[in-house]
Amino acid sequence: MHDARHRPAFPVSPEHRRHFDPAITRSLPGPVRRWLCHAIRPGAPLFERVRLDMHGHIRIGRWRRFTAHQFDSASFC
């Protein structure tokens, strides 16, 4: 398993650190680049950390409830 805490989500130079610029996605695979450029408007603020709280049902033999908490951070270059 890879440790994402030590790997940048995608390269971000200091001048792009606070807001999304589609140019920072140019080295990514096409489908990823297109999705990011569709989902994030140019100039949108970029956050360095996120907490995701999830809940629902997952099928492991039978349907079971689950809750999960995920913390992620991006190491901007």
CB 63 within 8 A of CB 57: yes
Tokens of 73: 């951070």
What is this structure's pTM? Answer: 0.51
Tokens of 66: 């689950």
Radius of gyration of the chain (CA): 16
- Give me the residue spans of the domains in the chain: 4-73
Q: How buried is residue 16: exposed, middle or buried, by Cβ count under 10 Å (0-12/13-18/19+)?
A: middle
Predicted pLDDT of residue 6: 46
- Taking only the tens of pLDDT, the chain with its 77 residues reads 344 444 455 555 555 467 899 999 999 999 999 999 999 999 998 888 889 999 999 999 999 999 999 998 876 54
